[in-house]
């Protein structure tokens, strides 16, 4: 059940073979059983110590098939994903990130944590949870990722789990990271572009 999993566009893969349990099947499970009531993370990987909830966001690819419609040019992204228009040379990525709603990103990130945690509790997994949102976008720099991390953390149950009535740890950590940061933090679970 541990393996190599792909993102929804099959452009990136994560290798979770060194985990003791993993899945990429939460989306299909939820779709078959409860519809869209719960959001899902892309991948879950379990080690001896913790469980990782991993969400992968690749907004530049998601919009790369669309024309960016810059003034005087219907931009066409380069095939090598350099994020430059083959006609005018302008950045298509900048247009893409402007279309991505920051608050929608925050909202979806929170929902995906709660949907993933619900599943883990339902199947009896009660190890500490570390949730990572890996963002692959040229404009999602360190400042943007730190700001997003702080905003999402406020909506996750860090404070709730400290109350007297809550008897289990609901979350240990949350971070928005780049692919490079993920690979530095977790070299046994490499995430890379499919060649």
Tens digits of residue pLDDT in 127-166 = 999 999 999 987 788 998 999 999 999 999 999 999 999 9
Confidence (pTM) = 0.79
| pLDDT recorded at residue 180 | 97
Give the domain range for residue 53. 4-61+100-193
Domains identified in the chain, total number: 1
Diameter of the chain by CA atoms?
61
Q: Would 93 be classed as within a structural domain?
A: no
Residue 86: pLDDT band with limits 50, 70, 90: low
Q: Would 23 be classed as within a structural domain?
A: yes
Residue % of the chain over a pLDDT of 90 = 56
Q: Would 81 be classed as within a structural domain?
A: no
| pLDDT recorded at residue 87 | 60
């Amino acid at each position: 059940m541990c393996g190599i999993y792909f993102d929804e566009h099959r452009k990136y893969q994560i290798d979770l073979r060194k985990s003791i349990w993993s899945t990429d099947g939460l989306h299909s499970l939820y779709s078959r059983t409860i519809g869209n009531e719960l959001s899902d993370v892309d991948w879950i990987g379990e080690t001896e110590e913790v469980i990782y909830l991993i969400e992968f966001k690749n907004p530049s690819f998601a919009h790369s098939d669309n024309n960016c419609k810059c003034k005087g040019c219907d931009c066409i992204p380069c095939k090598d994903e350099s994020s430059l228009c083959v006609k005018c040379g302008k950045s298509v990525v900048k247009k893409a990130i402007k279309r991505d709603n920051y608050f929608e990103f925050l909202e979806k990130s929170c929902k995906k944590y709660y949907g993933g945690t619900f599943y883990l509790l339902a199947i009896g997994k009660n190890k500490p949870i570390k949730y990572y949102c890996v963002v692959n976008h040229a404009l999602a720099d360190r400042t943007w990722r730190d700001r997003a991390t702080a905003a999402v953390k406020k909506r996750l149950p860090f404070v709730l789990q400290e109350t007297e009535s809550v008897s289990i740890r609901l979350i240990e950590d949350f971070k928005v990271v780049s692919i490079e940061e993920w690979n530095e933090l977790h070299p046994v679970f490499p995430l890379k572009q499919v060649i």
